[in-house]
């Protein structure tokens, strides 16, 4: 019998500083991307995480992020690309 439950993922921003339009600086210091993945891995039934390039994963952090994903067993369900902030 196969598992009929849907797979669930979350954006790592939910594990960050809690910034919003009312408090752009956030309600706490933001955790590192690796720590956010570790926090997310404690959520029951969570299968994956959505990453953001270049804020949460980039050329300098990809090895560490890959290692933490393997450690936690979480998959990458999406990589959103933040390119609208610069002309380049």
Per-residue pLDDT of the chain (88 residues; tens, 9 = 90+): 566 889 999 988 888 888 878 888 888 888 899 999 999 999 999 999 999 999 889 999 999 999 999 999 999 999 998 877 666 6
What DSSP string runs through 29-80? PPPPHHHHHHHHTTSTT--EEEEEETTTS-TTTHHHHHHHHHHHTPEEEEEE
Domain of 60? 9-81
Q: How many domains does the chain have?
A: 1
Does residue 68 belong to any structural domain of this protein? yes
Contact status, residue 52 vs residue 80, Cβ threshold 8 Å: yes
Contact status, residue 82 vs residue 56, Cβ threshold 8 Å: no
Does residue 2 belong to any structural domain of this protein? no
Hey, what's the torsion of the CAs at 79, 37, 62, 70, to 10 degrees? -110
The pTM is what? 0.82
Does residue 1 belong to any structural domain of this protein? no
Does residue 49 belong to any structural domain of this protein? yes
Does residue 3 belong to any structural domain of this protein? no
Does residue 88 belong to any structural domain of this protein? no
Q: Which residues contact 65 (CB under 8 A, 6 or more apart)?
A: 33, 34, 37, 51, 56, 57
């Amino acid at each position: 019998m196969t598992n009929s439950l849907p797979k669930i993922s979350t954006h790592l921003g939910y594990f960050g500083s809690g910034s919003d339009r009312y408090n752009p600086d956030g309600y706490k210091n933001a955790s590192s991307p690796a720590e956010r993945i570790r926090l997310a891995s404690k959520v029951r039934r969570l299968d994956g995480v959505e990453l953001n390039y270049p804020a949460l994963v980039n050329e300098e952090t990809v090895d560490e992020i890959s290692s933490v994903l393997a450690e936690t067993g979480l998959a990458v369900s999406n990589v959103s690309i933040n390119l609208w902030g610069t002309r380049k």
